[in-house]
Amino acid sequence: MVTEESRASLSHEGITVLEARDLRKTYPPDVVALDGFSLSLRAGQIHGLAGANGAGKSTAIKILTGVERPSSGTIKMEGLGPVTLATPTEAARCGIGVVHQELPLLPNLTAAENMVLGIDGRGSLRGAARRPALELYEQEAEQFPGAPPGGTRLEHVSLYSWQTVAIVRALHSGARALILDEPTSSLSVEDRAALHESLRALAARSGVAILYVSHFLDDVLDVCDVVTVIRDGRMVAHRPSSEFDEGSLLRDMLGIEGEREVTTPDHAGPGKAAAAAGQGVCLRLDSVTLAGVGPIDLEIGAGERVGLYGLEGSGAHALLEALFALRTHDGEVHWRGRRLKNSTRARIDAGMGLVTGDRKRALIGEWTVEMNHALPWLSTSGPFRLLKSSRYRTETDVTIERLGVKGSSGQPIGALSGGNQQKVALGRWLGRKHLCLMADEPTHGVDAAGRVAIHDLLRGLSADGNVVLVHSTDPEELVALCNRVLVLVEGKATTELDAEALTVDALEAASRLKRPTQMLSAGGAR
Amino acid sequence: MNASLGNLGDRLTGHLHKYAVAMVLVVICVFLSITTTTFLTTGNLTNVLLQVSMIGIIAMGMTMLLVSGNFDLSVGGIVAFVGVVAAKTVNSSGLAVGIIVGIALGLGLGAVNGFIVTRLRVNSLVATLGSGLAFSGFALLVANSSPISLQSAGLRELVKTEWLGVTMPVFVFAAAILTAAWFLHFTVGGREIYAVGANADAARYAGVSIDRVRFLPFVITGGLCALASLILVGQLNTALPEAASTWPLQVIAAVVVGGVSVAGGRGTIFMAVVGVLLIGVVNNGFNLENLDVNYQSIFTGAIIIAAVALDAFLGKRAALVASRAAEARDVEVGPRATVDTRAAAGTDQLRVGNDTPARPPTSLGQ
């Protein structure tokens, strides 16, 4: 999808701001991360970079931002000639700005303070210094519609606003090439669109060259003018985005030859009928209430995959965490006829499990795969029981085998790719008869193939009669995965979409409507 | 693939990181053995062990606390309080009752600390700073601000009991080491202490009760303080209400010198023992070399900072090496992984031909 204005800027053929040629990066003894990768970023263009996990995307970003040095190859900046980017500071000085997923901004400072912090050799702004910084901010923010007012402290604004401040900060420090690393991964659809709109405006108006790196193919195709696909450390495709569709992009990323059709799997498996034919209600929420959310009533039968959807702050995420007792709640949760106590331990023992896309929070990176796998099961015996290392290993090996994890039991789990970490995080809950698996952004930071594998796993689980409850900010994920979805708006369950009514459009519409409408939901809210 | 030179260097860094302080200890021991005639004698070595035993016993508990992400600055207060109460009880009700009451009180005071930290949510540094002051105050109150002499020699004889030329406190220290190592390294509870210290969120997600896990090390440390206190009272034949006021920092210094992280989640009983011995040997060396005692504090202080700085440096290097290896593995495995996963997942939408070039298998990280 290419808009008229981006097509126009494509034909402009702006000057090349950054040109990287023949970048090679090898890690001794014999690993080649980048194998002659070239990239040129033109002024006023949004340039997409797509690749599977391990393709060399992150190595390329590290080299362009001065975190790592290439083994060979050159980087030229317009007006500076060949540059050596030995440190991130030097890269910034050469005009390369980067905005990562994690935003290094301070919540207790204002947007304007965050913009100038450290760049102008100043700390917090008092008295006389405050006004010029604010003016400076307004000036810079003007280029970037969507940025919060300069006097607002960041603890009071949304994630999207943080991101815009990070971008404004990069522009303020003189970035002419702006690298956005997974910019949309935690944004709602609305914020995503706003970000894309702002990026287009920014590129067109200021002539900044933007490198947009994302797992989300639709995002890449939506906002980028040209797309480079990297695979095995090499550029394998470079075309205007209008010449790609999601299928061809995925084919290039994964290196699948030929014209075979690649489609994302649609919702298959046992639908509503199977759930109705199941053994009745397994999970029952009875007036579950927590800060700003609820009361929520919900009944889920065996073999169902139920989604929770809502915009940021709608409470869908909080509700899922409350069901795992990570947040305290009022009301009752019943699982297979038993009322569950308000403790994570009790809920795990009853048959619940949770995987989250925030793997840094859920896994201990420096621990081995097998100890992470065993962690939930340590507490089941008293503290003075001996560790059963060989049993942990056997159980982990079963998971590795069953889920096709690339990695071994004894490795630190942090050394595995995101998708493989997620499989281990998921695998540790398996092996029980009746499982209620809660998945919170299960494929966050996971590559396309890993996504498919994890979705299949979740489908397989429900096919075996388990309950799967998914929260995701990606409506497509829920449409692909769920039998029905409960939509939350401002803490209330407003709409329930069953398999027939479940589409991305319906989800997006429902998440913005405060009252359920007949048109959207067959069943309506309970 | 072959272990190339770079690989070897990386591996060496890892081991250096683990055993750096132990090597410093060995170097100092060798130096003292060469420059003095008295260091390498059974008499002197058992003396060193005896001198470090009390600090060492408490250090075992402090290690667990640091690994769980907490501190205890009240160990001096517990030692003093337990000492006077135990001495009074021994005088009034006999040795056995005195020992039992002393240990029970130590466990109880540890539980008080645990309660303040895990239930009242007070930062452990502040909580134990406060409780330590209070315990010292209680000690003075109970003792009426004057030393309490033991009226019978029972405890003194027990502490002086010798076996194979080694006295009781050293055996207690050894038993504390073994028990602590068993608990921290080989049991479920020990592993949960590491989990909570390394990543409390991850522990919570896995259903570990953070508060329960954090509570136990306080109680263990309290009990160990009681043991050390009984030894101290036995050695002096007197309970001093103002005893052990410098112990909290001495114990933490020894444990930290050994390489136990103050940030939680990292450190072993072995490291703590090495740290305790290092401080003991350095003190002994100053005596043997007839150096001004004032230099001793300066030197010990410098060693503490140097050890932690070295740990930070080597830790950073080791992390760098590990992340490089991880990244290399990612790159190596990545492309194959995407293909295999699809095959394993069995999705028909993504059929892959057999002509996908497979990379040679790698032994990296196996």
Kindly state whether residue A358 falls inside one of the protein's structural domains: no
pLDDT band per the 50, 70, 90 thresholds, residue B104: very high
The pLDDT, as a whole number, for residue B122 is 93
Kindly state whether residue A356 falls inside one of the protein's structural domains: no
Kindly state whether residue B24 falls inside one of the protein's structural domains: no
**Angle, helices A369-378/A418-427, rounded to nearest 10 degrees:** 30
A82 burial level (CB within 10 Å; 0-12, 13-18, 19+): exposed
The pLDDT, as a whole number, for residue A262 is 36
Shared domain check, A91 and A189: yes
Given a contact cutoff of 8 angstroms between Cβ atoms, the answer to whether A177 and A211 are in contact is: yes
- Percent of chain A as helix, strand, coil, to the nearest 5: 35, 25, 40
What percent of chain B lies above the pLDDT cut of 90?
58
pLDDT of B47 > 80? The answer is yes
How many residues are given for chain A? 526
Q: Which residues of chain A have a pLDDT value below 70?
A: 1-13, 29, 53-54, 119-131, 185-186, 256-279, 312-313, 509, 512-526
d(CA A216, CA A238): 17
Produce one character per residue of A301-337: b if its CB has 16 or more CB atoms within 10 Å, e if not: bbbbbbbbbbbeebbbbbbbbbbbbbbebeeebbbbe
pLDDT band per the 50, 70, 90 thresholds, residue B95: very high
Shared domain check, A102 and A89: no
Measured in degrees and rounded to the nearest 5, phi and psi for residue A367 equal: -80, 160
Domain boundary among A431, A463, A489: A431
**What order do you get walking across the sheet with A31-42 strand by strand?**
A31-42, A16-27, A72-77, A81-83
**Rounded to two decimals, what is the model's pTM?**
0.70
Kindly state whether residue B246 falls inside one of the protein's structural domains: yes
Given a contact cutoff of 8 angstroms between Cβ atoms, the answer to whether B331 and A54 are in contact is: yes
The pLDDT, as a whole number, for residue B334 is 37
Query: Roughly how many angstroms between the first and final C-alpha of chain B, as a whole number?
Result: 11
CA angle in degrees (0–180, nearest 5) for A31-A32-A36: 170
Kindly state whether residue A127 falls inside one of the protein's structural domains: yes
Distance of CA A111 to the CA centre of its chain: 24
Residue A271, both tokens? 């639908």
Kindly state whether residue B359 falls inside one of the protein's structural domains: no
Give the H or E element holding residue A291. none
Shared domain check, A288 and A250: no
d(CA B226, CA B172): 12
Q: How many domains does chain B have?
A: 1
Kindly state whether residue A44 falls inside one of the protein's structural domains: yes
Distance of CA A123 to the CA centre of its chain: 32
The pLDDT, as a whole number, for residue B17 is 66
Whether the CB of A53 is below 8 Å from some CB of chain B: the reply is: yes
Kindly state whether residue A327 falls inside one of the protein's structural domains: yes
Cβ separation A258–B326 shorter than 8 A: no
pLDDT in tens, B310-328: 767 776 766 666 666 555 5
Kindly state whether residue B290 falls inside one of the protein's structural domains: no
pLDDT band per the 50, 70, 90 thresholds, residue B353: very low
Closest CA–CA distance from residue A146 to any residue of chain B (Å) = 33
Q: What is the dihedral of CA A403, A405, A410, A413, to 10 degrees?
A: -110
- Amino acid residing at B353: G
Kindly state whether residue B166 falls inside one of the protein's structural domains: yes
Domain boundary among A431, A446, A477: A431
Name the residue with tokens 């569950």: A340
The pLDDT, as a whole number, for residue B11 is 62
CB-closest option in B191, B324, B346 to A387: B191
pLDDT band per the 50, 70, 90 thresholds, residue B304: confident
Q: How many domains does chain A have?
A: 4
Closest CA–CA distance from residue B334 to any residue of chain A (Å) = 5
Kindly state whether residue B292 falls inside one of the protein's structural domains: no
Kindly state whether residue A189 falls inside one of the protein's structural domains: yes
Given a contact cutoff of 8 angstroms between Cβ atoms, the answer to whether B32 and B288 are in contact is: yes
d(CA A494, CA A517): 9
Q: Which residues span the domain enclosing A404?
A: 365-431
- Amino acid residing at A88: P
The pLDDT, as a whole number, for residue B229 is 96
The pLDDT, as a whole number, for residue A51 is 81
d(CA A404, CA B347): 13
Mean pLDDT of all residues in B210-229: 96
Shared domain check, A211 and A78: yes
Produce one character per residue of B287-319: b if its CB has 16 or more CB atoms within 10 Å, e if not: bbeeeeeeeeeeebeebbeebbebbeebeebbe
From residue A390, how far is each of A387, A393, A397, A409, B190 by CA, in Å? Answer: 9, 5, 10, 11, 17
The pLDDT, as a whole number, for residue A260 is 39
Residue with the larger pLDDT of the pair B179 and A6 = B179
The pLDDT, as a whole number, for residue B166 is 87
Q: Which residues span the domain enclosing B123?
A: 42-275
pLDDT in tens, A58-100: 889 999 999 888 989 999 998 888 888 888 888 888 899 999 8
Given a contact cutoff of 8 angstroms between Cβ atoms, the answer to whether B172 and B53 are in contact is: yes
Establish whether this prediction's ipTM goes over 0.85.
Answer: no
Shared domain check, A493 and A375: no
The pLDDT, as a whole number, for residue B318 is 64
**Cβ neighbours, 10 Å, residue B363:** 7
The pLDDT, as a whole number, for residue A396 is 94
Shared domain check, A484 and A507: yes
Reduce the DSSP state of residue A133 to 3 states and report it: helix
**For chains A and B, what is the number of CB pairs under 8 angstroms?**
198
The pLDDT, as a whole number, for residue A512 is 64
Cβ separation B205–A361 shorter than 8 A: yes
The pLDDT, as a whole number, for residue B88 is 94
Cβ separation A366–B337 shorter than 8 A: no
Kindly state whether residue A360 falls inside one of the protein's structural domains: no
d(CA A208, CA A41): 9
Kindly state whether residue B332 falls inside one of the protein's structural domains: no
CB-closest option in A30, A52, A262 to B1: A30
Kindly state whether residue B109 falls inside one of the protein's structural domains: yes
Which chain B residue has the Cα nearest residue A453? B345
pLDDT of B343 > 50? The answer is no
Residue B120, both tokens? 């009242």
Shared domain check, A371 and A427: yes
Q: Which residues of B touch A58 (CB under 8 A)?
A: 327
> A303: domain CATH number?
3.40.50.300
The pLDDT, as a whole number, for residue A156 is 81
Question: Which residues, numbered 142 to 201 in chain B, qualify as contacts with chain A under a Cβ-Cβ cut-off of 8 Å?
Answer: 183, 186-192, 195, 198-199, 201
